[in-house]
Amino acid sequence: MPTRMIPLNDGRQIPWLGFGTGTALLYKDATEAVRNAIAHGIVHLDGAQLYENEDTLGAGIAASGVPRETLFVTTKIADLAEGMTVRESFLGSLKRLRLDYVDLLLIHSPKRTLEGRVQEVWKEFEKFQQEGLAKSIGVSNFRIKDFEELLKVATVIPAVNQIEYNPYLYKSSQPLLEYMKKYNILATSWGGITPLVHLKGGPVDPVLVSIRERLEKDTGKTVTEGQVLGLWLRYQGIPQITSSSKLERVKEYLATEELPDLTEEEFQRINKEGAKKHHRVYCEWMDE
């Protein structure tokens, strides 16, 4: 099954479906989950220092036996220990991952110990890209004001902003997404199935059910509401970062790639219902 690819502003491409080692795998050994994900066809692997399992992400990649160049690996820097340079921090990640380079390196957050240091960190990221240690560079959980600060010094525009994004954040995210479009910065989504996990019974649910039924009728396949949310992201050209320790869930995510697109009317119905409730599970300061 071919992997859908989304273009980045630096001429490279990112696979639409990504397997994350946060959330369900946070602070856990991800070796077997990563190996299984790769064995079943996932090539986009999303890690982070903050998840405290880069070593097992690396172990899972090594255990998979697939050629490095067939994979797209992301990691993120969130904190710098006192006295540690950005370079030392990143080289530590590469060592834990057992890799010579990552495909995408992100500033995990403009908060935490990097607050007030975004410009400094970004200039180091640009050097890593020049050296081939990070093929693409970007950010995560950035607001417009964070971009404005970074862009004062940037010679490379971030390729990606990975954000919490689902129908209950569609309306509030529009100003940020419009700003990013000016610079051709791609949004990637984490927390995409929040409506099913953290807000069951919300206004979006009946629409997801009706779309699921339509897709099942049209395709003759079993479809889940989670897959409909994935299709909602795909309709917008936004990569979906998912996470699960369950193999059947990984297969479900992969099967989404074979489903037909939503119609424009279905997409707008989801947006309309999502706009009735604003619900952010993490990073509440993104609404500041």
Would you say 44 is a known binding-site residue? Answer: no
Q: Where are the alpha helices (DSSP H) in 65-151?
A: 86-97, 118-131, 144-151
DSSP-assigned states of every residue in 101-120: -EEEEEE--SSGGGTT-HHH
> Catalytic one among 27, 51, 165, 235?
51
Cα–Cα distances (Å) from 58 to 7, 31, 72, in that order, read 26, 8, 13
Pick left, alpha or beta for residue 215 (phi over 0 → left; psi -120 to 50 → alpha; otherwise beta). Answer: alpha
Q: Is 51 a catalytic residue?
A: yes
- 13 has which bridge partners? 7
- The amino acid occupying position 134 is A
CB-neighbour burial class of residue 215 (10 A; exposed 0-12, middle 13-18, buried 19+): buried
* Distance in angstroms (rounded) separating the CA atoms of residues 181 and 277: 25
Residue 197: CA count within 13 A, CB half-sphere? 15
Q: Which residues are annotated as a binding site?
A: 108
**Catalytic residue annotation:** 51
Residue set of the binding site for substrate: 108
